[in-house]
Structure 1
Amino acid sequence: MKRLTAIIVFLCVTNAFAQKNKSTKIGNITVEELSMQRYEPDTTANAVVVYEHANYYLDEKRDYKKTTDFYFKIKILKKEGVEKATVSIPYYGDEKVHSVKGITYNLTENNNILKNHLIESEVYQKDVYGKWKEITFTLSNVKEGSVIEYTYSVTSPYSKIDDWYFQADIPKIKSDFTASILGNWKYNIRIVGFLKLTRNDSFAKKGCVYIPGLGEGACLILNYGIDNIPAFKEEEYMLSKENFISKLSFELESFHNPKGGVDRYTKTWKDADKSLRYDFLDNQTSKKNFFKNQLPPALLSIEDDLKRAKKAYRFIQHHFIWNEKYWPSKKVRIKEAFEDKTGTIFDINLSLYNALQAAQIESYLVLTSTRNKAVPTKLHPIVDDFNYLLVKAVINDKTYFLDATHKQLPFGLVRYESLNGDGRVLDFKKGSYWEPIELKRKTFRNVRTQLLLDEDLTLSGELTISSDGFFALHEREKLSNVSRESYLEDFESEHSNLEVEDFKHENLDEKDAPLHQKFSIIFDDVALKTNLRINPFLIEKVTKNPFKLNQRDYPVDYGYPRNISYVLSLKLPEGYIVKKIPENKAFALPNKGGRFVASFKSTNNSISVYSKISLNKRVFSSDEYHYLKEFYNQIINTHNSFIEIEKVSR
């Protein structure tokens, strides 16, 4: 991500007819485009954008409001690509969508071009939510081999310039964005993603406008474009695609008004801290006395700081129910939320902050955002980038990030969705700062299985699963939300040929301790009875590689490190011996990123298996992608191996 340009400052009003003429007109089609059968750079593509163009300017015919003319031409390559004929155009408030036109082109048997025009009555408008609305239409007679072409314009009274996405879920041959921006509006323009611009022209044009009575003015002319754009393909373990998909992003920095003053929209963090402290939080960080009266007196008398902090945390966690809302209205009222016993993410964790303050625990508010949003930019503060609030507590020189919005979260763990880059710690005395969100709770799962094979070749024995961190959180959620019977049915369905005879657990309600689950199981495998072979990985078997791309330009983000270990002890009945066992395996990721080991031993009529998967890092770079891909291939191959046994004659 980098800033492309800074805009010169010059007051003007413009006649932008010349810029309007740069907009691409509908009616551009060739027989060659209709004859195209596939797109060679990506033969898997269902459709390809032949050309697209957005042109931004001030429209004299619409009271000098800001207008963007859009043009799209798309080739349909496969029947799955027909969905591209349905178009949705969102717009907001006083914006207007107009000049909607569309044509479907098909080639006849005689190589004549058949046109089907979009009918105005087939363009629909609907309310979405709040002030958001949407225009939708579907082009007719679209099929495999068609080319569709459509244009529309959006006129807006607002200063915001929408992002222009060069990349999409289908490839593009050519994409352009052009603009003429008033000189007295200053934007920070950034290119996001990993693709390089093919066209990168920006210059100040003097005399581009003539204002009666004022003379000539200036504006900034932009011409950005990329050719041969690959489709953006999403994959597991990634943050929001908004961090990586190639696009132009516009952020308004300032406006030089006609009176000679400057209206600044991009703030410093000092300004943002002040705004957050007094405007958004509305003095809600000073409710220490209120919460001091709400906390149990015995809690405040606990001498040990960590124990006192945990008690305050549990008090808030059990008091509130999350209403499934994140960012609240500007006026936060945590006293009202406390009395209602329900609130947003901000209500609950702001209450936690005040409770910790009342308990005399050093604590700070931490702004972050959910993983479905772009990581907040560090170039300058944009408060709208954040939609989540955590609490940082410092106890005995150790830092804990806390989140009281989930009943099953242990002390020192936060919701997975809030792990989206660094957090902005709000220190209202010394100033805010960025800090990585490091979790005190380690995530692991240890599986231990002790089985006996009887003469009928049926396995039975004990299975113990110990887990902590996010693995324990997920299991506690399941156990708390479904009945025992439903939980065991789901468990058996996840592990074929396995039947649970008995089940018990330990530390289900002790969130700060590992969860232990103990199963008495019977395993009846057809392959064992027919071929005398057994796959030793009855539990925690990896069968699918989450990484399938030939190249991944964005990093792999697991959110947290993890360890999974597996131990199997298997005793054979009299008269059976081990014929063949798999080879031992060991595979390490570079940069100490992780390790996979698997060992197999047989002694007399006993078999022991040990395997461990360690991922030591939260984030792996795109350069490490192929190592991760091979890492999973090694695991899958090993987990697909078999132990062969045979019956010996007496």
Structure 2
Amino acid sequence: MRKKKVLLVLLLISQFIVLAQDYKFGKVSKEELKEKFYPLDSTADAAYLYKSRRTYYDYVQNMGFQLVTEIHERVKIYTKEGFDMATKAIVYYTPESGEDERVNSIKGYTFNLVGNKIQKEKLSQKSVFREQLNRFRTSKKITMPKIKEGSVIEIKYKLISPYIQSINDFHFQHHIPVKKLEAQVEIPEYFVFNKKTIGYYNVKLIKESKGGRIGDTQYGVNVFKFDEDNIPALKNDEPFVSNISNYRAGMKFELTQMNFISIGGDFKTFSSSWSNVSKQIYKSSSFGGELSKSGYYKDDLEKILTENTTETDKLLAVFQFIKGKVKWNEYYGIYSDKGVRKAYKDRVGNVADINLMLTSMLRSAGLNANPVLVSTRNNGVPVFPTIDGFNYVISMVELTNRGYVLLDATEPYSTPNILPKRTLNWNGRKITKEGNSSWVKLTSSKPAAEDNNLMVTISKDLLVTGLFRTKYFNLSGLTYRKNHNHLTEESVINSLEEKNNLEIEEFKLINENLIGKPVIRNVKFSSDNLVESINGKIYLEPMLFLTQHTNPFKLAGRKFPVDFTTPWKVKNMVSIKIPKGYKVEKLPESIAVGLPENLGVFKFKVKESGGKINTICVLQFNNAIIAPQYYNALKDFYGQIVKKQSEKIVLVKQ
């Protein structure tokens, strides 16, 4: 019987793989439309039934080579949560000067099964919208018509680029499964690219060759093919992931040289080292050129320097001045958008406008300041020297005999060496006006820290009342201000009450706008849900509403690292006054647990003293990143935390 069941499952899977092999655009089968769920992952809200990409070089007379990418995608929508797959944004390069990339030949259909007939709805050009994202990027937004559960949507388009040096990354794995993948890139012999596999799911590369022609001249073409069935989704099922896209299967191409000597052209090399990349960026008029400008802030700087003479005072004064002078428009970029003079005048600019301005002003104040190139957390980690690998810039000041300070004036709540989370990714690349460059650690040596102090009493009717004080330090302080300072006090109180099941009687914030000091939150509260009485005994958890009840790590294994963004520490001190007429029958035992390689530690101690039960609990991680090989140790570590914190204090009547 068991063999028959196995054979039946294999037969069903084989039929699924064979089904609908005709991926001709505009031809969808009834079987695809009838499918109620993805056979290999019933939790999928949608799936790529077919995903095809072909990238190749096309020679145009009197224009030369251009880079062409053809896309064909067929998506099955199973649930309402999959409706977001019916909206697509195609981003392309449109500089203010120079040629634009073009998105052509957009075609699309939505297929639905009505009765026993296939209903086919054509994408209208009225549903294709053009949106200017910034000075360099534009988006074609496509909204597919008549979407419902069970729909199949199909889209096809062509991206044509005059920028032949850059092949967009190939992505093989997504947040939904891919039933059938076909992809290839065709590269003439005149171009040499580095290739880098990314992600943890292996898609086999097949290399072939064919011929090409320019007039009477023949040349060789290297063809790299990828053909794969049933690629599983890579889902972000757990917390502490910086950018899930960093771990999706794919292939990166980076141009290292162009050699047209055989047909009377030039030989050029590109991005051969991080040093060359840094120099190339610095030479740009929108980078180094903007750094050299200083006249527009001269009068304001003179006023600042009359009151600030030491290195530290100059640094802090200029930093605070720029933060207050120019507001960030939420645009990233390593190049100035509107130019530093205009950004200064208009009091608004992109990342580069603001932090290049900051760097220039710090230099003019006599400080050793340089820009630092950054790839933000949502941009991924550059795997080899590439200009496109960086999308952000901050400022760095090297103090006399006192190390260095990193600054980001786009973030109102940042302080020296406490950068916003978006920048804390890998290392930054410092570049100097002399053309030198080097790596810089971005993560602060100061851990994000939170101290909780909880003092409570228990009435005879088991009502818990008390005071709750929290201090937020470093990145924790920045994060609290960023998440709460724009909210009303009422909404903050309501959120805190709902989260911890409390009734808040008094609420006070201290230092919410004093950026250099920790945020302090004082709360007076009561709750009738923290203590349980059974057969005359009182049961309560030592940390009350601060108890961690669930382990965030549940997978059997994890292929990518746990990313906490920064080292961090939470210290909880809880004091519970023993109610009159009761005594302690049982207290949880103390424990101290460490992770391998001094990655982290958990300490928990409960003791009775002077009519009170005092608990001290410390959870500390010394590294921002926990490598995959330590995942099971981390999972067990958190398991012990949950178990220990959930143990009960037992009080009995005297």
TM-score normalised according to structure 1 size: 0.81
Q: Give the drift of 1:393.
A: 3.2
Q: Give the drift of 1:576.
A: 1.1
Matched residue type, 2:160:
S
Which of 172, 176, 187 in structure 2 is aligned with 1:170?
A: 176
Deviation per residue, 1:588-634 (Å, 9 max, x gap): 22221111122222347421111111011111112222333333333
Q: Is the 8 A contact 2:571 2:616 kept in 1?
A: yes
Matched residue, 2:387: 382
Deviation per residue, 1:535-583 (Å, 9 max, x gap): 3324543344443444332222211111101111111232111233334
Matched residue, 1:156: 160
Aligned-partner SS, 2:597: helix
| 2:289 is equivalent to residue 283 of structure 1 | yes
Matched residue, 1:54: 53
- Which range is displaced more, 272-281 or 34-43? 34-43
Q: Which has the higher contact order (CA 8 A, sep 6+)?
A: 1
Spell out the pairing of 1:344-383 with structure 2 (5 A cutoff).
344-377=350-383, 379-383=384-388
Which of 490, 498, 505 in structure 2 is aligned with 1:493?
A: 498
Q: Give the drift of 1:60.
A: 9.6
Change (3 A) 1:453 1:287: same
Q: Is the 8 A contact 1:49 1:74 kept in 2?
A: yes
Matched residue, 2:570: 564
CA distance in 1, matches of 2:365, 2:59: 63
Change (3 A) 1:301 1:162: closer
| 2:590 is equivalent to residue 587 of structure 1 | no
Q: Give the drift of 1:423.
A: 0.4
CA distance in 2, matches of 1:492, 1:81: 30
Q: Give the drift of 1:439.
A: 1.6
Deviation per residue, 1:174-197 (Å, 9 max, x gap): 422124333334433332211223
Which of 231, 234, 244 in structure 2 is aligned with 1:232?
A: 234
CA distance in 1, matches of 2:38, 2:227: 20
Aligned-partner SS, 2:285: helix
Matched residue, 1:45: 44
Change (3 A) 1:188 1:360: same
CA distance in 1, matches of 2:33, 2:413: 58
| 2:131 is equivalent to residue 125 of structure 1 | no
CA distance in 1, matches of 2:191, 2:66: 14
CA distance in 2, matches of 1:504, 1:197: 53
Change (3 A) 1:336 1:71: closer
Matched residue, 2:412: 407
| 2:251 is equivalent to residue 248 of structure 1 | yes
Q: Is the 8 A contact 1:191 1:249 kept in 2?
A: yes
Aligned-partner SS, 1:536: coil
- Which range is displaced more, 607-616 or 244-253? 244-253
Q: Is the 8 A contact 2:587 2:650 kept in 1?
A: yes
Matched residue, 1:436: 441
Which of 500, 506, 512 in structure 1 is aligned with 2:516?
A: 512
Q: Is the 8 A contact 1:368 1:388 kept in 2?
A: yes
Change (3 A) 1:47 1:518: closer
Change (3 A) 1:554 1:296: same
Which of 525, 536, 539 in structure 2 is aligned with 1:521?
A: 525
CA distance in 2, matches of 1:161, 1:398: 40
Q: Give the drift of 1:510.
A: 4.2
CA distance in 1, matches of 2:424, 2:440: 12
Matched residue, 1:610: 616
CA distance in 2, matches of 1:355, 1:178: 49
Aligned-partner SS, 1:295: helix
Matched residue, 1:622: 628
Matched residue, 2:539: 533
CA distance in 1, matches of 2:304, 2:86: 63
Matched residue, 2:426: 421
Spell out the pairing of 1:265-280 with structure 2 (5 A cutoff).
266=271, 269-270=275-276, 272-280=278-286
Q: Is the 8 A contact 1:368 1:376 kept in 2?
A: no
How many aligned positions are there? 613
Q: Give the drift of 1:238.
A: 1.9
Q: Is the 8 A contact 2:375 2:390 kept in 1?
A: yes
Q: Is the 8 A contact 2:394 2:406 kept in 1?
A: no
Q: Give the drift of 1:231.
A: 0.7
Matched residue, 1:95: 102
Aligned-partner SS, 2:399: strand
Q: Give the drift of 1:485.
A: 4.7
Matched residue type, 1:225:
D
CA distance in 2, matches of 1:430, 1:70: 40
- Which range is displaced more, 565-574 or 171-180? 171-180
CA distance in 1, matches of 2:417, 2:91: 42
CA distance in 1, matches of 2:512, 2:84: 49
- Which range is displaced more, 395-404 or 113-122? 113-122
Change (3 A) 1:278 1:87: closer
Q: Give the drift of 1:451.
A: 2.3
Matched residue, 1:642: 648
CA distance in 2, matches of 1:314, 1:416: 19
Q: CA RMSD in A?
A: 3.9
CA distance in 2, matches of 1:359, 1:61: 53
Spell out the pairing of 1:16-95 with structure 2 (5 A cutoff).
25-26=24-25, 41-57=40-56, 67-72=68-73, 78-80=78-80, 83=83, 86=86, 88=88, 90=90, 92=92, 95=102
Matched residue, 2:486: 481
Deviation per residue, 1:469-488 (Å, 9 max, x gap): 12222344466434545544
Aligned-partner SS, 1:364: strand
Change (3 A) 1:487 1:551: same
Q: Is the 8 A contact 1:280 1:332 kept in 2?
A: no
CA distance in 1, matches of 2:106, 2:319: 57
Q: Is the 8 A contact 1:125 1:134 kept in 2?
A: yes
Change (3 A) 1:361 1:105: closer
Matched residue type, 1:98:
S
Among the aligned pairs, what percent are the same residue?
22
CA distance in 2, matches of 1:296, 1:515: 33
CA distance in 1, matches of 2:345, 2:91: 39
Q: Is the 8 A contact 1:322 1:405 kept in 2?
A: yes
